[in-house]
Each structure stands twice: as structure tokens, then as C-alpha cells.
Amino acid sequence: MIMTVRLLVMDVDGTLTDGRIIIGPDGEALKTFNCKDGYGISHLLPAAGITPMIITGRDSRILEHRAAELHIDELYQGVQDKLPLLHRLTAERGLTPDEVAYIGDDLNDLEAMRFAGVTACPADAVQGIMDIVTYVCRRDGGRGAVREFIEYLIRLNEHR
């Protein structure tokens, strides 16, 4: 039986952002996010019954502000090995891999993406990720790829 996607896990740098990190003398100063991605996360996902979650290898106060703005309660930063955390979080929620979608762009996402039932990457992801995903977005990271994948998931769920 094919399950409905209930959880969307997102990477940040290169996925929710274009991967550029501007660092000033006092540390991280700027990341840019796409407003269309934000609308999809804060409005389309809840309406579709899909919970947004972020798992990222970096720590960022900027990301904490953006996640709060988008009503993302599931934010996990500084996670170098994402798969064990993803296993634990899905087990706690009683989710199967088929109910998990994941979007990422680089090799630190690879093992967690192999766990998820539906996967995607931005158009500018590394080849090793493009080779294993369900869906390669037409848009680049930080330029609407997450919104594109959200719309794909909604259509997918409607046909399940």
C-alpha cells in the first residue's frame, strides 16, 4: 500500500538558500531565503497535512528566526550525521519511510535521503544526489526549489 507523505525534511544551505554564506567580522551575517519557498512551507504544507522539518549541519541564529517566522517547530541544527536523528524522529511519530519526503543538495544528505520514500534536490545539487532522487527540481536551491517540491508532493498525495 502506498502511504501519503506526512513529513517534509529540508536541508538548508544549498536547498532553502542558494548556498552562499556571507560572513562578516562578527560571524555569519547573511543568508537569503526565497519567499515562494516560505509561502509553500507556512501555508501549503499545513493545508496538505504535511509537517515541515529542518535538519542541517550548521548552526545559525538567522535560521532560528526564519524557522520561527515560517512556524517550523521541528528545527535540528548542528547535525552532522542526519540519518540516526531521522530514524529516531520518524519512529517517535510512528511514520514509515514512505510517509517521509526529503529535499537536499549535497552528500551530507545522501544517507538520510536513501531512507526517505520520496526525495528531491534542487537543479544545482551535486551529481551524487541527483543520481538517487525521485525528483530533480527545475529550480536551483534558494530560488524556489523547495516550493516546487512542495507542489509536487501535494499532487503526489492527491493521487495516492
- Provide the annotated binding site for substrate: 13
**Positions at the binding site:** 11, 13, 105
If phi > 0 it is left, if psi is from -120 to 50 it is alpha, else beta; for residue 94 that is: left
**Positions at the binding site for Mg(2+):** 11, 105
- Radius of gyration over every alpha carbon of the chain, rounded to an integer in angstroms: 14
Cα–Cα dist 63/10, whole Å: 12
Long-range pairs of 42-45 with CB within 8 A, sequence gap ≥ 24: 42/69, 42/70, 42/71, 44/147, 44/150, 44/151, 44/154, 45/8, 45/150
